[in-house]
Amino acid sequence: MGVVTSKSRLSLQQTAAEAAYHRCWYPVALSAALASDRPLGRDFLGSRVVAWRDPGGRAVVQTAWCPHLGADLSVGQIADGRLRCSYHHWSFDGSGRCAHIPSGDKVPAGARIFTYPTQEAWGLVWAFNGEHPDCDPPRIPDADETTIAFEVRERGRRSWDTWVAVSNGVDFQHLQTLHGIPRVSMPSELQVEASGIEFDIESPYHRQHGRISGTNVFAQHLRMGGADLFMMFCGAPIEPGKSSGFLVVGVPKDQPERLPGVLAMAERLNDEDAPVLSSMRFRRGLLTASDRHLATYFKYVENFPCFAPPQ
């Protein structure tokens, strides 16, 4: 049983050992990177996970440490449809149960590894930080995988917390000051739910339907000049102040030729944010009236539930 806490802390000063992370769906890896014949290791939520495919091709994400002596299971093998530890060949099934010990000894009652609820969507393997999901995996507003052509990219390690980066989704001022977008509109209000924040903007220049899922995903549908484009910026904490990054971009299915341009625009926005996010020492600071949506987001983050999975 993991540890559940009701509130998070707006701080970059936690250590990996003391941190409980938000109960969110987190991207672990590209679906295309998950092979059927070998496991994949990732640093994740202050620890490490192993991702692999079971005999039915289903993605599985589990705690990487073997309960025998603590070997990293991601350097093991897939054998007989199970995840096998390289050290002493203890084998684990998709539920996390130790199903075989080659020495012939009785399998200890506690010989199991934590298995994260796992789904695949938008070309990514997602793991939920909890024993049972509170919500569905993140979505892109007004789109699904059958209605748009999309591409997904892994952006590597980032020197910031995911929830800090996601605040940019409702920091409408920075679109003008940092990104140089000349005409910026703000929504009159944010629709705050237990596991997300949503907003709509209608202006003479564009339409924007944005959504924050958990504290680690910002997705949006933009219509500008009669053209539709879709973006999802997402990541997962590695440890406090460090995270992974992924990017999904899309266009209507009959316009795939527009994908390279949309991808270039999304990567440019990421690259413009990076020097600020990677060098800042985040603080709530002195918020003004124009920061009201940021204030709403920070309150949402402060009250977001956390979970510390068993290691």
In-domain check, residue 116:
yes
pTM: 0.92
Let me know whether 49 and 123 are in one domain.
yes
d(CA 26, CA 23): 9
- The percentage of residues in the chain with a pLDDT greater than 90, rounded to a whole number, is 73
Q: Say whether both 121 and 153 belong to one domain.
A: no
Question: In this model, does residue 71 exceed pLDDT 80?
Answer: yes
Residue 247 lies in a domain: yes
Range(s) of the domain holding residue 161:
148-306
At 126-154, the pLDDT tens digits run 999 999 999 999 999 999 999 999 999 99
DSSP 8-state assignment for residue 97: B
CB 40 within 8 A of CB 62: no
Q: How many domains does the chain have?
A: 2
Provide the pLDDT for residue 16: 44
Mean pLDDT across 297-308 = 95
In angstroms, what is the C-alpha Rg of the chain?
Answer: 21
Q: Are residues 100 and 212 in the same domain?
A: no
